[in-house]
Amino acid sequence: MEKIENEAILQREKQKILEKKNLDELENYKRKQEFLSIMSHEIRTPLNAIVASLVLLDDKIVNEGKKIVRNLKFASDNLISVVNDVLDFNRLDGQNVKLDLVSTNINFLCQNTIEMFERFAKSKNIELAYFSTVNFSNHYLIDPTKLTQILNNLISNAIKFTDEGTVKLEIKVVNSGEETDLISFRITDTGEGISEENLPRIFDSFSQLKPYLTRKHGGTGLGLAIVKRLIELHNSSIIVESKQYIGTSFYFEIELEKSKEILIKINEKNQLIGKKVLIVDDTKMNGMLLSKLLKKWSMEIEYVDTGKKAIEIVKHQKFDFILMDIHMPEMNGFEVSKDIKITQNLNIQTPIFALTADILADTDEDFKKYFSGIIFKPFDINKLYNLLIAY
C-alpha cells in the first residue's frame, strides 16, 4: 500500500514538473515572438520610407537616372529579404509563414537578382550568367519575396565560395499545362565544392562546415536552412550535387500557376479616382509618402498623426478607406479602429486597413477582428492597389 502511495506521489511530482516546463516553454516562445514583432517594426519602418521615396522618384527622372533608381529599389528590396531571413527563420520554426502570391514576371525577377550580384562577382573576376527557356512575357503567381530569398542565398553562396570560373542561374519549363507550368531552377558554380561526408549537413541550421570558412567568407549559417524550408513551403525539395575542388549544383522545381500581367497606368482612368482616404500614422514622413503614392491614382487624401484626431475627423467626414498605423502613442491602431467601429460616426462600415511593419501580423487574431486587411511596410505598390480596388 505504501509503495502504491509513493508511486502516486512521484507521478504527481513528475506531472507538476512537466506542467512547469510547458509553461516556461510557452512563456519563452511568447517573449521570442514579441521580440521578433518589435524588431520587425523597428527595421522595416525606415525601409518603408526608402522604398516609397524610390517609387516616387522613378516618375520624376529619366534615362540613366531611372535605371539607377530602379537598381536602388531592387537593392532595397534585397535588404528587406535579408531582414526577412532572420525573422522568417523563426517563423518557419513555428510554421507561421504563408506564401503571398502576386502576378510576377519570373524572368524579370531572376534578371534583377543576377544584376544585383554583378558587382560582387566582378570583384572576384567571376563570370555571372543567366539562361532561361521560359517565355519572357510569361507571368506567374509567385511570392516574389520568398523566391528572391531563395535565389539570393544560393547565388550569394555560390559567388562567396568560388574564386574563379563561373556562377550560373538556369530556369527551364520542365512541363507545361493549361493552368500551370513546372519550372526548374539550377544554380551551379565552379567553386570549392563540398565533400561527400559533409553534404548531408549543409542544410542544418547554423551549419558551417569548417571554422576557417566562417572566418574567410562570413555568414550566420542560416542561409541554406532557410532555403530548404522555403522550398518545402512551395511543396518541393532541393537537390545538391557537389565535387570537392570542382564545383556545386543546387536544383529545385516549383509548380507555378500562370497569370496575366498586372499593369498600373497612373494616367488612365481607374477605379480609385475620387475615392476619399484617411491616413492615420504618427510618423509624418510615412504619412506624406503614402499620401503622394495615393494621389498618383487621383484619390482624395486626409492625413492625421494621432488616433485622437482620427476619432474626431470620422465624426464629420465620410471616407471610402481608412489606413491605420498600429504603433502610435496615446492610442494604438487597435484602440482607434475599435472606437470607430462601435461609436456614433460616419465611418462605422468603412473598411479599415492596418499599416504595419510587423511580419507576424497575419497570424494575430486581433488584426482579423479589427481590420479589413493588412498593408505591410515597406509598401508594395501593386499589392496596395489591388487591396484597395477589391473593396
Average pLDDT (315-336) is 91
Return the SS3 of 219: coil
The residue type found at 308 is K
Query: What confidence tens digit (pLDDT) does each residue in 170-224 have?
Result: 999 999 998 999 999 999 999 988 888 888 788 876 554 544 444 444 444 567 8
Element (H, E) at 385: helix 381-389
Select, from the ranges 79-88, 135-144, 177-186, the one with the highest average predicted confidence (pLDDT): 177-186
CA gap 135, 147 in Å, rounded: 18
Average pLDDT (381-391) is 78
Return the SS3 of 359: coil
First-residue to last-residue Cα distance in the chain:
71
Query: What confidence tens digit (pLDDT) does each residue in 25-36 have?
Result: 666 666 766 666
How many residues in the chain? Answer: 391
pLDDT at residue 309 is higher than 90: yes
Better pLDDT: 269 or 21: 21
pLDDT at 362: 62
pLDDT at 340: 93
Better pLDDT: 296 or 33: 296
Per the DSSP assignment, residues forming a β-bridge with 362 are none
Q: And the C-alpha cell for 341? A: 467601429
pLDDT at 255: 96
pLDDT at 197: 81
Q: And the C-alpha cell for 73? A: 529599389
pTM of the model: 0.59
CA gap 237, 260 in Å, rounded: 27
> Is the dihedral angle over the CA atoms 235, 229, 116, 68 positive or is it negative?
positive
CA gap 280, 371 in Å, rounded: 14
The residue type found at 390 is A
pLDDT at 338: 92
- Given a contact cutoff of 8 angstroms between Cβ atoms, the answer to whether 230 and 150 are in contact is yes
Place of cell 553534404: 199
Average pLDDT (43-72) is 71
Average pLDDT (298-325) is 93
pLDDT at residue 48 is higher than 80: no
- Given a contact cutoff of 8 angstroms between Cβ atoms, the answer to whether 105 and 139 are in contact is yes
Average pLDDT (366-377) is 82
Q: And the C-alpha cell for 372? A: 479589413
What does the radius of gyration of the chain's CA atoms come to, in whole angstroms? 25
- Bridge pairing between strands 180-189 and 165-176: antiparallel
Average pLDDT (241-248) is 90
Element (H, E) at 175: strand 165-176
Query: What confidence tens digit (pLDDT) does each residue in 247-275 have?
Result: 999 999 999 999 865 544 444 446 788 99
- Bridge pairing between strands 180-189 and 247-259: antiparallel
Other CB atoms within 10 Å distance of the CB of residue 230: 25
CA gap 385, 291 in Å, rounded: 13
CA gap 3, 363 in Å, rounded: 49
pLDDT at 282: 87
CA gap 181, 134 in Å, rounded: 10
pLDDT at 311: 94
* Nearest in space to 382 (alpha carbons), one of 112, 143, 45, 103: 103
Q: At what angle do helices 63-93 and 223-233 cross, to 10 degrees?
A: 80
- Given a contact cutoff of 8 angstroms between Cβ atoms, the answer to whether 173 and 196 are in contact is no
Domains annotated for the chain, with CATH where assigned, are: 13-75+266-391 (3.40.50.2300), 102-259 (3.30.565.10)
Element (H, E) at 47: helix 2-58
Q: And the C-alpha cell for 234? A: 512551395
CA gap 176, 381 in Å, rounded: 30
No. of H helices and E strands in the chain? Answer: 12, 12
Q: How confident is the model at residue 102 (pLDDT cuts 50, 70, 90)?
A: confident
